[in-house]
A and B are shown apart, each in its own frame.
Chain A
Amino acid sequence: MVNESGPARAGRIATYNDPASTARSRRATCAESDAAAPVSTDTAVDRDSAGGSAIELRGLAHDYSTDSGVVRAIDTVDLDVAPGEFVSIIGPSGCGKTTMLRAVAGLLEPSFGSLSVLGGSPREAQRDHAIGLVTQEPGLMPWLTVAENVRMSLKLAGRPDAVDDWLRRVGLDRFAGLYPRELSGGMKQRAALARALAHAPRLLLMDEPFGALDELSREALRMELLKIWERERSSVLFVTHSIREALLLSDRVVVMSGSPGRILKDLAVPFARPRSDALFVDGEFLALEERIRVLLRTAN
């Protein structure tokens, strides 16, 4: 691949400040495999300062050029996610949550700022097969069975086959031989979850993973994810529109304001783990929920 020949990669973070990169990063949103070109500038930093966090964003900003000029999607975002921490991002539509997540996943090159993922650049995290990605659309391959779809990530990562185990854990073991079009939306998303987790990524990136599901499937998958994550404890960046979902799952909830996206508030979620849906009627939970709701109302 393109980025194989970079200099020694330990303790490097990617910084982006090249105005010319705006044009390139716009291409990164197109369906092109080569669009996520090598990062423009790499700045060496001490491994300890960079390696402490699973994700470290400094002054991250991104512009999209449109027909009517340049639009800033996110503006100078600073964010840290500690190893093993579950952080949710919540905010109004178009606040740049997805842009931020795609930058962390190495799918988009931000216009400005610096970005470190697991102590290196996003591309290096990709190369280590350290990223598990779940998006709103499941993105399964329709010509492969459920089991073959999950096996795809193991094959790409060169990890031993653990398909049966993962299918059991997401409750799909009886449907291993079915094709995606034979599954319900919730089951497809379960398969996508198994695919994202099967290669044991250290960082899980989820972009409204349950956003397209009906309320019942949402509820079920949410609890499933909670159960799985409390065993795995990988680092998670989780984009959602649901306050309850964010509070139930996360250690921290980051509230963002509308365009351009900025961080309004970074709230710790104090509830002990393992958690359950009993939290939904907890007084402190409800108070936090209300507080975020008010924050979001003013954010628009």
Chain B
Amino acid sequence: MQRVVRWLAMALPPLLFIVGVVVLWELWVREREVADYLVPRPSAVWEVLEGDPGRYAIAAQESLTAALGGLMVASLSAFALAVLMAHSRLLERALYPTALMIKVMPVVAVYPLFAIWFGFGIWPKVAIVALITFFPMLVNALIGLRSVDPATLDFMRSMHSSRWDLLWCLRLPSSLPYVFAALRISVPLSLIGAVVAEFLSGSSGMGQLILIANGDFDTPALFGAIVVLAFLGVALTAIVAAVEHRLLFWHESTLEV
């Protein structure tokens, strides 16, 4: 009971705000008789979504697959590289500038290259997503693996811990708060990456759906795509937050004040 009350207290204000905005919007558009191709009524957007949910579901699934695939490839490889770099300053010095260069490179510029290499299927999209989500994980994981409590490290070393023990028992758990900070950045980035890649290829997913709606001046359909993307972003972020809360119960960031 108390949990339900607390949950309502958390969820109700933002929900009420959104509902309020949508209602005011609907009333304003009706009152002023604004054309649907300029600012569509929320109800018109809903009609589009409801009229062909399959189209949106398939597009969303295509985008989501690319986003999560790229995110996974990038996060795992970035974390593995961070582990190596955390153990070798030489490796860090050697690789960091290159990683930084890749980070500041505009992904849009690389897409044609990826299209040549990976064709027009899902792989160039995965590559684009991986490219933009790699760096946040690398930087955060590296800091996390190094930000170990010195007193705990002294204890572990006085016990003749192997590098593996230090990594598995100390560095890895210590890095988790930073890993989740990285995910909070890279999860939304992964959706952006997928949609941008779809804009460029125009072959599938939410990006293609938006391109087509735009070409048809079908603004309600455009808004429908935006709503779906917003929903996907919120859902993914909520999942990350839930897992974080579960795993980081011991960390200050999850303390309930």
Contacts and interface: CB of A to CB of B under 8 A. Distances in A.
Contacts of A106: 157-158
A118 to B, nearest CB: 13
- Most chain A beta-carbon neighbours within 10 Å: one of B87, B151, B170, B251: B151
B160 interface: yes
A100 B101 CA distance: 45
Interface stretch (B45-53, B75-83, B142-150, B189-197): B142-150
B159 A141 contact: no
Contacts of A190: none
B203 interface: no
B165 interface: yes
Q: Which of B146, B150, B157 has the most CB of A within 10 A?
A: B157
B155 A139 contact: yes
A181 B255 CA distance: 10
B149 to A, nearest CB: 6
B156 interface: yes
Interface stretch (A31-39, A88-96, A164-172): A31-39
Interface residues of A, number: 36
Contacts of A133: 154-155, 158
A20 interface: no
Contact of A181 (B148, B156, B170, B250): B250
A136 B252 CA distance: 21
Contact of A31 (B148, B155, B158, B252): B148
A132 B173 CA distance: 23
A157 B151 CA distance: 18
Contact of A156 (B150, B156, B251): B156
Interface residues of B, number: 28
Contacts, number: 82
A33 B153 contact: yes
Interface string A114-140: 000000000100110101110111111
B158 A34 contact: no
Nearest to B153: A31
A208 to B, nearest CB: 12
Contact of B158 (A126, A142, A143, A180): A126
A126 B157 contact: yes
Contacts of A153: 155, 159
Interface string B35-54: 00000000000000000000
B151 A156 contact: no
B173 A141 contact: yes
Contacts of A132: 158
B151 A143 contact: no
Nearest to A36: B157
A267 B87 CA distance: 45
Interface in B162-176: 162-163, 165-166, 169-170, 173
Given A126-B158, A138-B151, A142-B251, A31 B173 contact: no
Given A34-B163, A137-B151, A179-B250, A105 B158 contact: yes
B98 interface: no
Contact of A1 (B152, B155, B160, B252): B160
Interface string A179-195: 11100000000000001
B61 interface: no
B214 interface: no
A33 B151 contact: no
Contact of A143 (B157, B250, B252): B250
B87 A157 contact: no
A181 B159 CA distance: 24
Given A105-B158, A142-B250, A135 B163 contact: no
The 4 A-B residue pairs with the shortest CB-CB distance in the complex, in nearest-first order? A139-B151, A137-B151, A139-B152, A126-B160
13 contacts: A33-B87, A33-B153, A33-B166, A34-B87, A36-B157, A107-B158, A123-B160, A126-B157, A131-B159, A137-B151, A139-B149, A141-B170, A179-B250
